[in-house]
Structure 1
Amino acid sequence: MTQPLFPAAPLYADLALGPDGGAAYWLTTVDGVRIRAGVWPVGEKGTVLLFPGRTEYVEKYGMGAADLAARGYATVVVDWRGQGLADRLLPDRMLGHVGQFHDYQLDVQAVLDMARRLGLPEPYYLMSHSMGGAIALRALMHGLPVKAAVFSAPMWGIAMAAWMRPFAQPIAQISGLLGLSHRLAPSTSNKNYILDVGFGGNVLTTDPEMWRYMKRQMTERPELALGGPSLAWVYTALMECRDLSLAPSPDYPALTVLGSAEKVVDVAPIHLRMARWRNGRLDMYHGAEHEVPMEALAHRTRFYDDAAALFDAHR
C-alpha cells in the first residue's frame, strides 16, 4: 500500500462549509513544529495560498474556499504555529505566542512544499488577512512563487492608543529582558474575542450571519480558540512592522482592501505602502469592519470577484 505524502489531520467540514473534496494534513516545519494545512483542491485555474490572521484557523475560511472554487481556484489555508490545531508554543494554549516573527516563514515554506508535492494546480496566488498580510509581504520579499497577491486589512502596523505608541516597544523589550516575555500583553485578555463579546459593537464584521458562522465554530470546537498575544509576540510583531516599513514593495501585482471602519490594524502604513506600490492598488469598503472577507454579502462578493479578476489577469 502506498504511504500518504502527509499524515491526515482533522478537518471540521460541517463547520467550515467549504467545497466538496476538502482535506487537512499535518506538516512538520524544519524546526520541528507541527502545523496544519487545509486543502480544497477544486479549481482548474490555479491555487490560492491563503494566509489567515492571528487567532484564525483553517475552518474559518471554508466559505471563502467555496467562493474561490466557484471562480475556478483551489485553496490552501494554514494554521500558523501557536494557533488553530497547530502546536501551541506555551503551556497556556490560549496565549498567542511566537519566538521570532520570521518563524512564520518556516510555516510558509512547509505549506509551499506541501502544495508542490500534492500537485495542486498551478500557478499559485496569494491571499492574506491581517497578521497574515505581514507574513505574506515578507514572503513576497523573499520571492514566494506566486503570480499576484491580495491583502485584506494587512497588519503592516498595529492599532493602539496614541499615548501607548511610544511605550509599547520598550515595554515589550524590557519584559523580555526581565523574563516576562511569555506573559499576556497589557490591555488584552486570554479569552477568545468571538466568545467573549457580543455581535453588537464588535470590531470584526457588521454581518450577523458571518458572526454566527464564526461563533458556531468557536462554540463547537473550542480547541480552535485563541486569546490575546504574549509580550514576546507584541515585541517581535512591532519589530517586523518596522522592518517591513523600511523595505520597498516587491514587484508583484497586488490588491489591498480595507474597511472604512477598520479598528484593529494601523491604517496609515497601508495607505503609505499602497500609494507607492508600482503595480498595486488600494480599494476601500465603505462601512466594513476589519474582516472584509467575513463581511456582508455585497462586500464578500465584491472582494472575491475582484480577487479572481486580478488572478485571472495574471495566468
Structure 2
Amino acid sequence: MTDLLFETDANQIPARTHSGMLEMRDGKALRYAVTQAASRPQQGTVLVLHGRNECIEKYFETIADLARRGFTVVCFDWRGQGGSSRMIHDAMRGHIDRFDDYVSDLDQVFRELILPDCPPPFYILAHSAGALVSLLAAPVLANRVRRMVLVAPFVGLPGSRLGVNGIRFATRTLGLIGLGRRYAVKNRYQAGGRPFADNPLTSDPGRYMRNAEIVRHQPQLGLGGPTVRWVSASLNAIDRVNDPDFITNIRIPTLIIAAGADSVVSTAAIERFTTQLRNGTLLIIDGARHEILQEADFYREQLLAAFDAFVPGSDEPETTIATEPAETA
C-alpha cells in the first residue's frame, strides 16, 4: 500500500514500497514507509532519519539507492511534520516540547515496526536534526544498531558562543512566560520555499526544484519555522550530546559526514564532537552545502562511496579518525 505517499513525475515512489500509520503511546501517529531490498544478497535494514521540515518523499531517491544495494529501507516522518500528526493547532509551526519525545518515537518504531518485520542487521542513516536524535538515542540503541552514518549532524549552531548563548537565554525566557509556541523567527511557511539562488541547502537546481514540487503539489507536507520551544529543546539536546560523560556512552561505530560549505549547522562543532567519540570517523566533503543527500552528484556520490565503505562493515571496534577539513567554498 502506497496511498499515504505522494509522487510527482520527477519523484516516483520506489518499487516494492508499502506505507502505513503507526500509533504512538500518546495517541499521535507517525507516517512510515518500508521499501524491500531490490537485489541479493540482502544486506539488512537501513533506517533513514530525516531532518526538520523534511518528509519521506524527499528521500525517495536515497531510498531507491539503498534498496539497489540490497537493503530494506525504513523511513518515517517525525511527529509534527510531513504526514505525521502535528503537535499544535497551527499545523505549520514546527513544534516539540522536548527531543526525548523524538527518542521515544524512535524506540517505538524499532519495537513495533523494525524488529518484528525487517531483516537484521540494522543501520541508521540520519541527517541534521535526525542525526541529533540518533545521538541522543545511541546509548540505548547499542544492542540494536550495528553502525550509524550521520550526515551534517545538528550538534552546534554556526556563529559565536555568545550569540548561541543569547538564543538559549531568549528562548528559555520566552518559554517561561508562556510564549513557547510562538514562531522563533519570522519564517512562516510558503509553498515551494525560497528561490533556489538564495538557498543554503544544495547547489543542485534539479533536486532543489524536485523537492519544491513535492510541497507545491502537497502543501500539507510542508512546515514553517520552528517555535520558540523547538529551538530551546534542540539547544538542550545539543548540550546533552556534547557532554563528555554522555559521549563516552556512545558505543555504536559511527561515520560522521560534514558539509564543507554548511551554513545551517556548525562544521567546527561537528569536528570537536567527533574527536571525542571512541568509535567515530569524520569525513568533510569540501564545497558541499547542508543537505548532502540532496546535493549535486559530485558531492552526493562522495557521501554514497563513504557509506558503501563503512556499511555493512562488521562488529569490530573502530578507531577514531578525524580528517582535516578542506577549504570551504
The equivalent of 2:37 in structure 1 is 42
After superposition, residues 139-288 of structure 1 pair within 5 angstroms as: 139-144=137-142, 145-160=144-159, 164-186=163-185, 188-192=186-190, 195-246=192-243, 247-249=246-248, 250-288=250-288
The equivalent of 2:15 in structure 1 is 20
The equivalent of 2:326 in structure 1 is none
The equivalent of 1:300 in structure 2 is 300
* Cα distance in 1 for residues equivalent to 2:219 and 2:160: 30
1:10 to 4, 8, 30: 4
Distance 1:216-1:164 versus aligned 2 partners, 3 A rule: same
Q: CA deviation at 1:110?
A: 2.4
Equivalent residue letter for 2:73:
T
Unaligned stretches of 5+ in structure 2? 316-329
Deviates more, 1:60-69 or 1:140-149: 140-149
Q: CA deviation at 1:62?
A: 0.6
Equivalent residue letter for 2:168:
Q
The equivalent of 1:4 in structure 2 is none
The equivalent of 2:318 in structure 1 is none
Equivalent residue letter for 2:292:
V
1:128 to 110, 113, 126: 126
Tell whether the 8 Å contact from 1:42 to 1:69 is kept in structure 2 after alignment. Answer: yes
The equivalent of 1:137 in structure 2 is 135
The C-alpha deviation readout for 1:185-237, integer Å capped at 9, x for no partner, is 03x40124x72311113100001111111111111111100010000111111
Deviates more, 1:14-23 or 1:149-158: 14-23
Tell whether the 8 Å contact from 1:18 to 1:40 is kept in structure 2 after alignment. Answer: no
Equivalent residue letter for 2:6:
Y
Tell whether the 8 Å contact from 1:37 to 1:111 is kept in structure 2 after alignment. Answer: no
Is 1:57 matched up with 2:51? no
* Cα distance in 2 for residues equivalent to 1:23 and 1:235: 35
* Cα distance in 1 for residues equivalent to 2:150 and 2:170: 30
Deviates more, 1:9-18 or 1:85-94: 9-18
Tell whether the 8 Å contact from 1:245 to 1:269 is kept in structure 2 after alignment. Answer: no
SS in 2 for 1:195: coil
The equivalent of 1:105 in structure 2 is 103
* Cα distance in 2 for residues equivalent to 1:251 and 1:31: 30
Q: CA deviation at 1:13?
A: 4.1
SS in 2 for 1:31: coil
Q: CA deviation at 1:141?
A: 1.9
Tell whether the 8 Å contact from 1:206 to 1:295 is kept in structure 2 after alignment. Answer: yes
Deviates more, 1:205-214 or 1:40-49: 40-49
The C-alpha deviation readout for 1:155-175, integer Å capped at 9, x for no partner, is 012335665322111111111
- RMSD of the alignment, in Å? 1.9
The equivalent of 2:78 in structure 1 is 80
**Aligned structure 1 segments of 4 or more residues deviating by more than 6 angstroms:** none
Compute the TM-score of the two structures, normalised by the length of structure 1.
Answer: 0.92
The equivalent of 1:312 in structure 2 is 312
SS in 1 for 2:45: strand
SS in 1 for 2:54: coil
Equivalent residue letter for 1:210:
R
Tell whether the 8 Å contact from 1:23 to 1:40 is kept in structure 2 after alignment. Answer: yes
* Cα distance in 1 for residues equivalent to 2:11 and 2:21: 18
Equivalent residue letter for 1:80:
W
Distance 1:8-1:196 versus aligned 2 partners, 3 A rule: closer
How many equivalent pairs are there? 306
Compute the TM-score of the two structures, normalised by the length of structure 2.
Answer: 0.88
Tell whether the 8 Å contact from 1:18 to 1:64 is kept in structure 2 after alignment. Answer: no
* Cα distance in 2 for residues equivalent to 1:125 and 1:94: 31
SS in 2 for 1:312: coil
Distance 1:205-1:272 versus aligned 2 partners, 3 A rule: same
Tell whether the 8 Å contact from 1:8 to 1:26 is kept in structure 2 after alignment. Answer: no
Distance 1:8-1:287 versus aligned 2 partners, 3 A rule: closer
Tell whether the 8 Å contact from 1:19 to 1:42 is kept in structure 2 after alignment. Answer: no
Tell whether the 8 Å contact from 2:14 to 2:63 is kept in structure 1 after alignment. Answer: yes
Q: CA deviation at 1:309?
A: 2.4
Tell whether the 8 Å contact from 1:50 to 1:128 is kept in structure 2 after alignment. Answer: yes
Unaligned stretches of 5+ in structure 1? 1-6
SS in 2 for 1:49: strand
Distance 1:304-1:266 versus aligned 2 partners, 3 A rule: same
The equivalent of 2:113 in structure 1 is 114
